[in-house]
Copies of this chain bind each other. A is one copy, B any other.
């Protein structure tokens, strides 16, 4: 008899849940709130209850479930232990074992959310057709996930793919959230873009479309850049310069087939990959000039897909 898979992506405010068939097609998706109170002790029981309710609704039992895959916003060991997850209030324990206990499902796979999203994009999103990709998430910060030969690279400390904290600038005085100075995400995140735009708008008299917007986010900055606004050009230049440099560092180490660019900033479309590609090429060896750049395609569903792929193996 056909079996089913649950793909679960735990976020800070909501848990995305997907009910998939064993071919990896999504049959249904929904969300439940992430209850962070009391050190997040109800998060996993809530998920287990939601799974049980869905089973009942579908008239299926635990035996019909091939497995449960999960993305968690924190460092995770290969065997599914979470090493503290500040966002959820969690300490150190085995998420995989706990979910096994709560649901009775034997096959439970757990990964870091950025890594799991990278796997989702490689499997069914912008990285389709490639075995080895690096996913770059450009949002409030810069996140990353590495997929090699169709498998997530976790790293010895669960920190592989932490490319937001690549050291890209010497002599920086501002401190990054991680405590270091000159990290990639200080320049190439939405936060970095907006900071640079504000600095230029406030400290110069140069004319710019950026002065006309009520709200100035990555969207307006890229719109102004595409309209030929010189000041927006300076903002995008810094963003692209450091991102091109950071991804060159990644390529000299990993030599992936492709970079998949996701997160809020990627919604500005091909202009984003175009400006990065250009700066990337200046910073890599000849053999790496042909690395492909793709936009992510699955948006917020990437984690759910990656979670299912972990179960399918």
Comparing A202-210, A220-228, A248-256, the segment that makes contact with chain B is: A248-256
Q: Copy number of this protein in the oligomer?
A: 2
Neighbour of A287 across the interface among B132, B157, B251, CB < 8 A: B157
Tell me whether A30 is interfacial, beta carbon within 8 Å: no
Tell me whether A148 is interfacial, beta carbon within 8 Å: yes
A179 engages B249 (CB within 8 Å) = no
Tell me whether A194 is interfacial, beta carbon within 8 Å: no
Neighbour of A253 across the interface among B166, B169, B170, CB < 8 A: B166
B255 engages A253 (CB within 8 Å) = no
B257 engages A253 (CB within 8 Å) = no
Which A213-254 residues have a C-beta within 8 angstroms of B?
245, 248-254
Which residues of the partner chain B approach A159 to less than 8 Å between Cβ atoms?
251-252, 255, 285, 287-288
Question: Distance in Å from the Cβ of A120 to the closest Cβ of chain B?
Answer: 20
A285 engages B252 (CB within 8 Å) = no
Give A contacts to B, CB under 8 Å. 75, 132, 146, 148, 153-163, 165-167, 169-170, 178-180, 245, 248-257, 282-288, 290-291
